[in-house]
Structure 1
Amino acid sequence: MRILVTGVTGRLGQLVARRLLESGHELIGIDRRPWDDAPAGIEMHSVDLRKRAAEDVFRKSHPQVVVHMATVTHLIERSEERYRINLGGTRVVFENARACGAEHVIFVGRHTYYGAAADSPLYHKEEEPPMAMTAFPELADLVAADLYACTALWRYPELCTTVLRMVYTLGPTGQGTLATFIRGPHVPTVLGFDPLFHFMHEEDVAAAICLSIERRIRGVYNVSGPQPVPLSVLIRATGRTQVPLPELLFRAALGRFGLPRLPPGALTHIKFPIVVDSAAFRAATGFQHQIDEAGAMGEYRDAFPAL
């Protein structure tokens, strides 16, 4: 099949692209950033998704499948440009995919869509509404992009639309929100709270995305691998030192003293868990993770030792 991957230059995008190439697919990659050592089998286009040049790529390449991974997930600051990229870029991808006759579009979203709160269910199911914006407004653009992708299920019935809500990724590339949060030798936590963190190895994330193409599933699916673990266990297993702080001091210390910088809304994600039920995805695809939670934490620890 001819498959177009947006955001292909990102670490996860590269993993997905390499897997698809190994499976014999034709690959077209779109990203504003160059991929200088991209495999010879990938037709690369360094263009902005929202520009006419990207529309031309869709029209000329006629992809059968589009995998949309070009969303900005860093939460250091909320900006109008980020909103345009995440929501505007998602809208353009679906419009271009439909116009060029694509058959299948996969939107790669995040499980943070559900939000973290004291009264949240332990396991979130796909039909639950997004509560992330109530306490964490910096996630509004990602939630809006997810909701827009969901509307394609009824607006574009001729398209097979797949919305994947992936848990955090962890592995030797060190990419992703969770990997960034625990990067330093000291990881702050809120005194009295030890939430479960749901994550999976980045290779398993790439495998799940590729399996969605192979099985051609339609609908909204939570995607997870091994069982979640308490934040304290995650910190210890990756070789870091936990720094429990009273909530007021936690807020004041973020971004200082070598601690990670986070927006105010992120505090709820350090206090309360976001754990998803991925039974529907496993039933639809037969997906089984290959690397357990201990393996993912160990590979991250070895790649990024705490100094």
Structure 2
Amino acid sequence: MKVLVTGIAGAHAQHVALRLVERGHEVLGIDVRPWQGAPRGVKMFQTDVRKRPAADVFRVHRPDVVIHMATVTHFDTSAEQRYRVNLRGTQAVFRHCEEFGVRNAVFVGRHTIYGAAADAPLYRTEDEPPLAVSTFPELADLVAADLYASRALWSCKSMRTAVLRCVYALGPSGRGTLASFLAGPRVPMALGFDPLFHVMHEADTAAAIVAAVEHEIAGVFNVAGPPPVPLSILCQATGRTPVHLPEGVLPRVLGRFGLPRLPKGAIGHLKHPVVVDDKAFIAATGFTYQWDEHATMNAFRSATILREDRGL
């Protein structure tokens, strides 16, 4: 198949592209950033998915499948820029898919859109509404992008659409939302809470995304790997020092004293778990993870130690 990956220069998207090439697919990539050393088998187009040159890539090359990964989760970006990239970018990609006859579209989203709340069920199924708009307002643009992608399930009958809500990806690259949270020497914990974190190895995440493509699934699917682990165990296994603080103190110290910088809405994730039920995805694809929780955390820790030793 001819597969177009948006946001291909991102660390996790590169894993997806490499796996696609290994499995014999032709890969096209769109990103505003270059991918230095992109392997043979990947054809790069350095442009913004919202711009005319991106539409030309769709028009000229006619991909069979599009994997949309050109979204941002880091909060150093302004809210306006996140909105333009996450929602407007997603709208543009799906317009191109409809206009130029893409057969399958895969939107790679996040499980955090379900929101962290005290009264939520432990394991979220795909029927659960995305509550992050109220519990974590800073994620509103990602929730909107997820819901916009989901509308293609009924608005574009000629295209099969899969919306994947993936748990945190963690691994040697040291990239991603959870890796940024664990990047410093200390990790904040809300006093009296030890929430479960749902984590999978970044190589397994890539394998799951490729499985969604090759099985041509349609629908909304939670994607997970091994069982979730408590935040205290995550800190211990990755060599980080947990710092237990009263909830009222957290907003004043985040971003200081070796603690990660987090938006106010993220504090809920230090209290309540966001854990998903992935039975539907397994039934649709037969996916099985290769890295258990211990191997995943150890892979991140080993790579982090190596980077720290090299002063990177």
The bucket for the TM-score relative to the shorter chain is over 0.9
State the Cα distance separating 1:77 from its structure 2 match. 5.2
Matched, 1:29 2:4: no
Question: Does the residue aligned with 1:247 lie in a helix, a strand or coil?
Answer: coil
| Contact 1:77/1:138 (<8 A) preserved | no
**Matched residue, 2:74:** 74
Question: Does the residue aligned with 2:248 lie in a helix, a strand or coil?
Answer: helix
**Matched residue, 1:240:** 240
Q: Matches of residues 187-198 of structure 1 in structure 2 within 5 Å?
A: 187-198=187-198
Q: Matches of residues 1-307 of structure 1 in structure 2 within 5 Å?
A: 1-76=1-76, 78-305=78-305
Q: Which amino acid aligns with 2:175?
A: Q
Question: Does the residue aligned with 1:304 lie in a helix, a strand or coil?
Answer: helix
Q: Which amino acid aligns with 2:121?
A: P
State the Cα distance separating 1:36 from its structure 2 match. 1.6
Q: Tell me how far apart the structure 1 counterparts of residues 79 and 192 of structure 2 sit (CA, whole Å).
A: 32
State the Cα distance separating 1:302 from its structure 2 match. 0.5
Q: TM-score, normalised by structure 2?
A: 0.97
Q: Tell me how far apart the structure 2 counterparts of residues 182 and 38 of structure 1 sit (CA, whole Å).
A: 28
Question: Does the residue aligned with 2:275 lie in a helix, a strand or coil?
Answer: coil
Q: Tell me how far apart the structure 1 counterparts of residues 150 and 69 of structure 2 sit (CA, whole Å).
A: 15
Q: Tell me how far apart the structure 1 counterparts of residues 258 and 100 of structure 2 sit (CA, whole Å).
A: 49
Q: Tell me how far apart the structure 2 counterparts of residues 156 and 18 of structure 1 sit (CA, whole Å).
A: 29
Q: Tell me how far apart the structure 2 counterparts of residues 188 and 130 of structure 1 sit (CA, whole Å).
A: 25
Q: Tell me how far apart the structure 2 counterparts of residues 149 and 300 of structure 1 sit (CA, whole Å).
A: 31
Root-mean-square deviation (Å): 1.0
| Of 176-185 and 222-231, the range deviating more from structure 2 | 176-185
Aligned residue pairs, count: 307
Q: Which amino acid aligns with 1:60?
A: V
Q: Tell me how far apart the structure 1 counterparts of residues 149 and 127 of structure 2 sit (CA, whole Å).
A: 14
Q: Which amino acid aligns with 1:34?
A: P
State the Cα distance separating 1:78 from its structure 2 match. 4.4
Q: Which amino acid aligns with 1:279?
A: K
State the Cα distance separating 1:98 from its structure 2 match. 1.4
Structure 2 unaligned spans of 5+ = none
Q: Which amino acid aligns with 2:40?
A: A
Q: Which amino acid aligns with 1:248?
A: G
Evaluate the alpha carbon distance shift between residue 5 and residue 77 of structure 1 in structure 2; reply closer, same or farther with a 3 A threshold: closer
Q: Which amino acid aligns with 2:155?
A: R
